[in-house]
């Protein structure tokens, strides 16, 4: 999952709204965060991924329920010419084409037994295929109903929900490339049209470094800023964070905060989590950090403004008047004009593409 758009509900929501917020997979329930009554609001705050039971329950831009806010973790996918169900786009083959390619590579074929043969595959075969491909990374797909247009286009034209938005990413999102075998040229393919400007933004970095920068900054960090900025078009604030906190046991072993690493801290999930064969043991410093950001998420759910003891005032993000993001580290602080050359490159590129689609 490239991002998690999280919502909150309270006891006033209808049963139908609750169905729309139900977790699509029945494998496990997502945890709840209970707002303490001492904080002045005794309602339970439940944070879950937005998913659907039936397509007719929810449309992205025609939401009949009384939503109050949204949280998106793990970056903000701002597709402009993103994946469609049946229409191929530059660098974005259709979902149908992707399925046919996967079937061919895994020797499934297109006969009446295709589903049975797919289900019989060892899980590792599918995992290995996913690690070697760029077109099947579970990005949002424009289907004309749940997602009627590209996310970047929706936000740019003010067609998103008018709710406060908290959005962010980690400073080592390219940790996801650690298990992949994708060559730099494939990662950089969408940026080849203006490769000179891209390379200049990264001060002439070689292709392998440039590919990691494109993936980390262009796919995850920079889009969060555009989404937050465009919330002003529906009269709502957008708050941006960047996670830089590394767990005590990982310090000195990894270059930064990995993809989705804020999630266990937000939910206070310190119970010996295992990931890719590694069991995490969280120390006192880790739990202190989790207490801060968990409280900030709860306060955002309660009031629409992320705040907590240990956090400085968190300003809403605007490109031209408030280019400020919250750095979530052991000592959280506000970043002003974060890496301007790189971020300005992605802003200009994306806004140019959005302008082209509007003409």
Give pLDDT, residue 25: 24
Model confidence at 8: pLDDT above 60: no
pLDDT tens digits, 299-337: 999 999 999 999 999 999 999 999 999 999 999 999 999
Tell if the pTM clears 0.85, that is, is over it.
Answer: no
Model confidence at 237: pLDDT above 50: yes
Identify the CA nearest to 261 among candidates 271, 275, 253: 275
Of 191-195, 201-205, 215-219, least confident by mean pLDDT is 191-195
Please tell me the distance from the alpha carbon of residue 193 to that of residue 54, in angstroms, as a whole number: 40
Q: What is the mean pLDDT of residues 73-94?
A: 78
* 85 and 357 Cβ atoms separated by less than 8 Å: no
Give pLDDT, residue 100: 86
The tokens describing 290, both together, are 């989790």
Q: What is the mean pLDDT of residues 219-236?
A: 95
**Higher local confidence (pLDDT), 65 or 19:** 65
Q: At what angle do helices 340-358 and 222-230 cross, to 10 degrees?
A: 60
Please tell me the distance from the alpha carbon of residue 220 to that of residue 4, in angstroms, as a whole number: 12
Q: What is the mean pLDDT of residues 183-195?
A: 84
CA atoms within 13 A on the CB side of 309: 3
pLDDT tens digits, 130-149: 777 655 556 778 888 888 99
Q: What is the mean pLDDT of residues 69-89?
A: 76
The three-state (H, E, C) secondary structure of 318-347, written as one string: ECCCECEEEEECCCCEEEECCCHHHHHHHH
Please tell me the distance from the alpha carbon of residue 214 to that of residue 236, in angstroms, as a whole number: 29
pLDDT tens digits, 248-305: 989 999 999 999 889 999 999 887 666 556 777 889 999 999 999 999 999 999 999 9
Give pLDDT, residue 293: 96
Model confidence at 50: pLDDT above 70: no
Residue with tokens 């599918």: 126
354 contact partners, CB below 8 Å, separation of at least 6: 80, 152, 153, 156
Q: What is the mean pLDDT of residues 3-24?
A: 28
The tokens describing 118, both together, are 């797919």
Please tell me the distance from the alpha carbon of residue 76 to that of residue 256, in angstroms, as a whole number: 19
Q: What is the mean pLDDT of residues 139-168?
A: 90
Domain spanning 4-30+48-82+149-358, CATH architecture: 3-Layer(aba) Sandwich (3.40)
Strand partners, 274: 279
Model confidence at 9: pLDDT above 50: no
Please tell me the distance from the alpha carbon of residue 266 to that of residue 23, in angstroms, as a whole number: 18
**Higher local confidence (pLDDT), 118 or 12:** 118
The CA angle 311-240-172, to the nearest 5 degrees, is 95
* 224 and 240 Cβ atoms separated by less than 8 Å: yes
> Would you list the domain boundaries of the chain?
4-30+48-82+149-358
């Amino acid at each position: 999952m490239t991002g998690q758009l999280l919502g909150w509900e309270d006891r006033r929501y209808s049963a139908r709204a609750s169905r729309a917020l139900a977790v699509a997979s029945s494998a496990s329930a997502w945890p709840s965060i209970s707002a303490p009554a001492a904080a002045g609001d005794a309602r339970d705050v439940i944070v879950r991924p937005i998913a659907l039971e039936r397509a007719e329950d929810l449309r992205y831009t025609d939401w009949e329920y009384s939503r109050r806010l949204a949280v998106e973790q793990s970056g903000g996918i701002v597709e402009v010419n993103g994946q469609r169900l049946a229409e191929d786009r530059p660098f974005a083959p259709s979902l149908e084409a992707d399925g046919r390619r996967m079937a061919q590579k895994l020797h499934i074929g297109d006969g009446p037994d295709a589903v049975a043969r797919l289900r019989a595959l060892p899980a590792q075969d599918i995992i290995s295929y996913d690690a070697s491909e760029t077109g099947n990374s579970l990005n949002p797909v424009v289907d004309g109903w749940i997602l009627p247009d590209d996310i970047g286009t929706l936000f740019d034209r003010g067609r998103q929900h008018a709710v406060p938005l908290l959005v962010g990413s980690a400073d080592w999102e390219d940790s996801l490339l650690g298990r992949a075998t994708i060559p730099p040229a494939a990662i950089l393919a969408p940026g080849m049209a203006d490769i000179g400007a891209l390379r200049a933004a990264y001060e002439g970095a070689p292709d392998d470094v440039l590919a990691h920068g494109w993936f980390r900054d262009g796919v995850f960090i920079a889009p969060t800023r555009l989404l937050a900025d465009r919330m002003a078009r529906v009269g709502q604030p957008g708050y941006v964070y960047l996670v830089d906190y590394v767990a005590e046991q990982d310090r000195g072993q990894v270059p930064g905060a990995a993809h989705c690493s804020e999630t266990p801290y937000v939910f206070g999930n310190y119970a010996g989590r295992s990931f890719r064969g590694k069991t995490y043991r969280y120390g006192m410093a880790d739990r202190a950090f989790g207490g801060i950001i968990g409280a900030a998420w709860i306060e955002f759910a309660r009031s629409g403004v992320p705040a907590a003891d240990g956090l400085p005032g968190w300003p809403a993000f605007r490109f031209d008047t408030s280019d400020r993001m919250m750095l979530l580290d052991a000592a959280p602080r506000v970043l002003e004009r974060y890496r301007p050359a790189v971020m300005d490159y992605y802003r200009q590129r994306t806004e140019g593409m959005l302008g082209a689609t509007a003409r």
